[in-house]
Amino acid sequence: MTRSRFLILPLLLLVVPLLGGWKFLSPPRAWDITDTGPGGTWPIEFHAGDVVPQGLDTHEEKWDLIQQSYDHWGEEVPCSPIEAVQGADINNSTQGFGASGLTTLTFNDPTNALGSSTLAAALSYTSNGVVTNNGVTFAAIAESHIVFNDWVVWGDAADISAASCFNRHDFMSTTTHEIGHTIGLGHSCEDGEACSDPLLRGATMYWSGGSCSSAKRIPNEDDAAAINVAYGVSIDFEIEPADGQELVGPAPLTASMDVPSEYQATVVEYEWNFGDGTEHIITTTAESVEHTWEEEGQYTVTLSILGEDAECGGEYEAEERKVGVVLVCNEPRPAFEFVNEGDFTVQIENVSDLGAFGCITDFVWILDGDEDSALRTYEPTYVFDDNSSHTVTLRASGPGGETEITQTIDPTKQSGEGCSASVAGTEPVGLLALLIGMMGLVPLARRRR
Ligand SMILES: [Zn+2]
């Protein structure tokens, strides 16, 4: 008769994180940059409420900062055609998100549309028109609205960088972010989303902005990539695993990479970086390239291009990354130790080599060969009703296969004292491990939790 106690399973049983970059709003929408002339929507003509936002000094400063914020999306993003021109003052108190027919920015949240934790928010309205660029179909934006909240004290560059700055928000950073929404961009990462990539955290379209900071005023490469898909030249590629393989699997793992034809028009050079330290492949045509990853690890594939396009002022560069998209796993290397805590209680310590993140997706503990009462946990504690010995099997599985290790545990002894270990793998190499196990050695493992 045995009882078991569970410990909370650490965040081990996770799927491979496939971090995306920039996002579009959903459903996708963009301005039609060909819709020029009388009655057209391009360039964007913006109108601003007839008050001075709290913390700014003059109307002129307000207009100037808004214009510069629009210009960031045109001038700081290579190959971007984004353009906006100043319209007129509008009655601030009657506008907000309810305004119609004009693209507007209003202040102090005249219709109380915003929650108290929001600095500002943006909306865009679409017409029936459709814009297609770089293989993506967008609804055409006809007008947009930005509303700034009433409790916020804004500042310009000097106010925000001053040593005395306290709880003031950079008007231009927030405006640039909200304009990003009105031209079709979503957040680079959302609140609560795992976001370890510094490029995404540093994007103007990152979900949050701190006070006394102008760090995200200028769109970065991640923001620029989104703009170029919606409005300019861009690059993308596809990764296809070799026949019978997946992009997540045992080593060696082979895949081929292709650039779809809609991205090839102005490219003169392609450079592939496979993320594993091997030599880059450079081609002058969009021919498919193949690569084999030999070592365990999670890999990011990057395609850098050199292009020639008159609208980009001649030569331009662009880059597309697929972050962590290839996961190569060796066979799992499970290992455990046990601690006799007295009173027939044995605490198991899982010292398996976790390898690359995502390479072990499941741990199963089997006591005395009884599969029916197997435990799926990281580290069990066993409480026995007498001092007789038992066998404990740890089965680890993941994309690289499945491996088992079995030890005999004696509730009166500590780990390493007269225990025996055996290992069985899914591949012939398991035999070597089995021989080592028969010699009474526990396979070496590093502890990493
Ligand atoms: Zn936002």
- The string of pLDDT tens digits covering residues 345-363 is 999 999 999 888 889 999 9
Q: Would you say residue 123 has pLDDT above 90?
A: yes
Judged by average pLDDT, the poorest of 15-29, 123-137, 335-349 is 15-29
* pLDDT value at residue 18: 38
> What is the Å distance from ligand 1's center to 260 Cα?
31
> What is the Å distance from ligand 1's center to 88 Cα?
25
> What is the Å distance from ligand 1's center to 375 Cα?
44
> What is the Å distance from ligand 1's center to 149 Cα?
13
Judged by average pLDDT, the poorest of 114-118, 261-265, 305-309 is 261-265
> What is the Å distance from ligand 1's center to 442 Cα?
53
Long-range contact pairs involving 271-278 (C-beta distance under 8 Å, separation at least 24)? 271/303, 271/304, 271/305, 271/306, 272/301, 272/302, 272/303, 273/301, 273/302, 273/303, 273/304, 274/299, 274/301, 275/299, 275/300, 275/301, 275/302, 275/326
pLDDT tens string 66-109: 999 999 999 999 889 899 999 999 999 988 887 678 999 999 99
* pLDDT value at residue 105: 97
Q: Which residue has the tokens 């963009």?
A: 30
The closest of 88, 129, 90 to 106, measured between CA atoms, is 90
Q: Would you say residue 435 has pLDDT above 90?
A: no
> What is the Å distance from ligand 1's center to 187 Cα?
6
> What is the Å distance from ligand 1's center to 209 Cα?
9
> What is the Å distance from ligand 1's center to 208 Cα?
7
* pLDDT value at residue 437: 27
Alpha-carbon distance 318 to 305, whole Å?
5
pLDDT tens string 217-246: 999 989 998 998 899 887 889 999 999 999
Q: Would you say residue 268 has pLDDT above 50?
A: yes
Q: Would you say residue 434 has pLDDT above 80?
A: no
Residues 205, 210, 215, 216, Cα dihedral to 10°: 10
> What is the Å distance from ligand 1's center to 109 Cα?
16
DSSP 216: T
The domains located in the chain, with CATH, are 29-231 (3.40.390.10), 238-329 (2.60.40.10), 331-438 (2.60.40.10)
pLDDT tens string 286-326: 999 999 999 999 999 999 999 998 777 788 888 888 888 99
pLDDT tens string 167-186: 999 999 999 999 999 999 99
Within 10 angstroms of residue 303's Cβ, the number of other Cβ atoms is: 21
* pLDDT value at residue 195: 84
**439 CB contacts (<8 Å, ≥6 apart)?**
none
> What is the Å distance from ligand 1's center to 145 Cα?
13
> What is the Å distance from ligand 1's center to 174 Cα?
9
Percent of the chain whose pLDDT exceeds 70 = 88
> What is the Å distance from ligand 1's center to 207 Cα?
5
* pLDDT value at residue 209: 85
* pLDDT value at residue 365: 97
DSSP letters of 313-342?
Answer: TEEEEEEEEEEEEEEEEPPPB--EEEEEEE
> What is the Å distance from ligand 1's center to 178 Cα?
6
> What is the Å distance from ligand 1's center to 155 Cα?
19
pLDDT tens string 17-69: 334 578 999 899 999 998 988 889 999 999 999 999 999 999 999 999 999 99
pLDDT band at 415 (very low <50, low <70, confident <90, very high): confident
Higher pLDDT, 354 or 155: 155
Alpha-carbon distance 272 to 216, whole Å?
29
- Give the per-residue SS3 of 367-386: ECCCHHHCECCCCCEEEECC
Long-range contact pairs involving 350-353 (C-beta distance under 8 Å, separation at least 24)? 350/378, 350/379, 350/394, 351/445, 351/446, 351/447, 352/394, 352/396, 352/445, 353/445, 353/446, 353/448
> What is the Å distance from ligand 1's center to 121 Cα?
7
> What is the Å distance from ligand 1's center to 167 Cα?
19
Q: Where are the alpha helices (DSSP H) in 140-276?
A: 157-161, 171-182, 198-201, 221-231
> What is the Å distance from ligand 1's center to 179 Cα?
9
Q: Average pLDDT, whole number, for the chain?
A: 85
* pLDDT value at residue 416: 58
Q: Would you say residue 443 has pLDDT above 90?
A: no
